[in-house]
Amino acid sequence: MHVDWKHIAIALAILPVAALLFAWIGFFNVGASSGHWKITDWFLHFAMRSAVRTYALSVDVPEKLPHHTLQPAAGHFARGCAICHGAPGEPRSPAVLRMLPQPPALAERVGEWNDAELFRIVKHGIRFTGMPAWPSQARDDEVWAMVAFLRDLPAMDERTYRDLAYGDPADPALHPVDFGQSLAECVRCHAADGLGRSAATPILAGQSEAYLIQSLRAYAEGRRQSGVMALPATAVDAALLRDLAQHFAALPSRKPDRIHHDPALMRRGEEVARIGIPAAKVPACLGCHGGRERNPLYPRIAGQPAEYIAVQLDLFRHGKRGGTEFSHLMTDAAKGLSDTDIAALAAYFSTLRQAPATGAP
C-alpha cells in the first residue's frame, strides 16, 4: 500500500486551521448544560487521574498525619471548600450540581486517593475543573492538615463537623461588615478567650497589640504566607484589624497546662533559649523573647503550644515565614537549628508562663 506523505503533510497542516475556523464560527458548544461527550468525559478523568498519580510519586508523605490540626483545617474547609463540595449537614447547592465538571461530594470520594495524591490535589488544584490551588504554596504543613481532615471527613457527623468548623457562635458571616462579625471570624479558631482551640493555633490572649496588628496586616496583604489565615484576614475590613488586635491583646493569658516532656529535651531547650548555639550562629532566644521589657513587636512565645512553636521555627528555618518588620532576624537565627533543637525549644517554651530574662537562672 502506497502512502502519499505529501497529502498527509498537507492534511496535518490544514487541520489546526480548520479547528481554529470551527472555533471562530462558534459551532463548538461551550455551554455546561449539555455536559461532555462520554468519550470526552472519560478522557479528561483518565488524564487527571494519571497526572495526579504520577506527580504524587515525588510527594514525601509524613509517617503520621497531623490530626491535631483538624480544627483549623475544618475552619478553612467551611469557608473555602464546603460551598462546592458540601459538608456534614451542608449538602451541595443546586447551582453547584450544574457545574461542569460537577464538584464531588468529598466524603464519598476521598477514599479513592492515597495520602500523597490528596496532598497533590489540595496543594496544586486541578485545571479546567474550578478546583483552585492552595492559597499559599509555601505552607505544606497546612496542606497536610487538610489531608488529615479529609481522611476523617467520611466518618464525621454533623455535630462534630460544626463544632470543629464554627465552635459555639453562629456561622460567621462570609463577608464580615462590623466588629462583631469580624470577631466571630477569629474566635472559631482562636476561641472567645483567645487561647486557641487546637495545638496548631497560636494563643492571642496577652500578645502585644503592636505585634498582633502587624501580623494581621501581613496576612491581609499577602506578606506572611498562610492559606488558612489569608481568607479571614482579607474578608475582614482592614479598618477593623486594629480593633481586633486591641481586643485580643487585652484578654488575660493563662498558665500553661502541665505537660511532661523528656527531661533531656527540656534541658537542651533551656540551654538554647538562654545561651544559644554559638557554633551554629544561633543567638539566645531569651535575648529577644525574654522578660517584660522586650520589644512589643517581638511575640510572646512562652506558653504557646509546642506543636505550633515547632512549625513556626521550621518555617523560619526554611525562609517561609516573614512579612513583618523583624522577621528577617528570626530567619537568620533559625538557620542553624536542627530538628532536635526545634523540638527542644518547642517543649521548653510551651511550659513557661512568663519568659524569664536571658542569662543564667
Which three three-digit cell numbers place residue 61? Answer: 508523605
Give domain limits for the chain: 44-165, 173-249, 263-350
Unique residue bearing C-alpha cell 493555633: 201
| Distance of alpha carbon 317 from alpha carbon 74, whole angstroms | 27
The per-residue pLDDT for 149 is: 98
Q: What is 173-249's CATH superfamily? A: Cytochrome c-like domain (1.10.760.10)
The per-residue pLDDT for 18 is: 85
What fold is seen in the domain 44-165? Cytochrome Bc1 Complex; Chain D, domain 2 (1.10.760)
Whether the domain at 173-249 and the domain at 263-350 fall into the same CATH topology: yes
The per-residue pLDDT for 170 is: 60
The per-residue pLDDT for 3 is: 61
DSSP assignment of 299-341 equals PP-TT--HHHHHHHHHHHHTT----STTHHHHHHHHTT--HHH
Name the stretches of the chain with pLDDT < 70: 1-3, 169-172, 355-361
Unique residue bearing C-alpha cell 483545617: 73
Longest dimension (CA), the chain: 94
| Distance of alpha carbon 123 from alpha carbon 116, whole angstroms | 11
The per-residue pLDDT for 359 is: 46
| Distance of alpha carbon 68 from alpha carbon 64, whole angstroms | 11
Confirm if 145 and 69 have CB atoms less than 8 A apart.
yes
Amino acid (one-letter) located at 129: T
| Distance of alpha carbon 361 from alpha carbon 356, whole angstroms | 8
Other CB atoms within 10 A of residue 345 CB: 26
CATH code that applies to domain 263-350? 1.10.760.10
| Distance of alpha carbon 352 from alpha carbon 244, whole angstroms | 26
The per-residue pLDDT for 2 is: 64
The per-residue pLDDT for 313 is: 98
Task: From residue 22, give the alpha-carbon distance in Å to each of 11, 25, 28, 225.
Answer: 16, 5, 7, 44
